[in-house]
Amino acid sequence: MDIDNHEEQLHQRLAKIKQLEVEILDREKVIKEKETAKKQVLLRLSPSLWQKIAQWAEDDFRSINGQIEFILSEAVRNR
């Protein structure tokens, strides 16, 4: 009897651990999605600056948006 009771308790603990693991993974996923989510920003540029960035982006095989993000990331990193 004691062995059966002990085994049942172990199964219940294992089920609880598995449930907690799923909850932790779900929370980690939500946190990661929040960290990697891109924020949208309205940016006004002069036509000449836009052209220069567009040419730079083309030279680097990036989109204009990707080039602006690259420039900002470099500026923050160099700061």
pLDDT-derived band at 1 (thresholds 50, 70, 90) equals low
Measure the CA angle with vertex 39, ends 35 and 44; round to 5°: 155
CATH tag, 39-79: 1.10.1220
Give the closest residue to 68 by CA, choosing from 35, 44, 34, 36. Answer: 44
Distance (Å, whole) CA 50 – CA 20? 50
**pLDDT, tens only, 2-25:** 888 999 999 999 999 999 999 999
Q: What percent of the chain has pLDDT over 70?
A: 99
Boundaries of every domain in the chain: 1-37, 39-79
If you average pLDDT over residues 36-42, what whole number do you get? 85
Report phi then psi at 37, rounded to 5.
Answer: -65, 135
Report phi then psi at 45, rounded to 5.
Answer: -125, 150
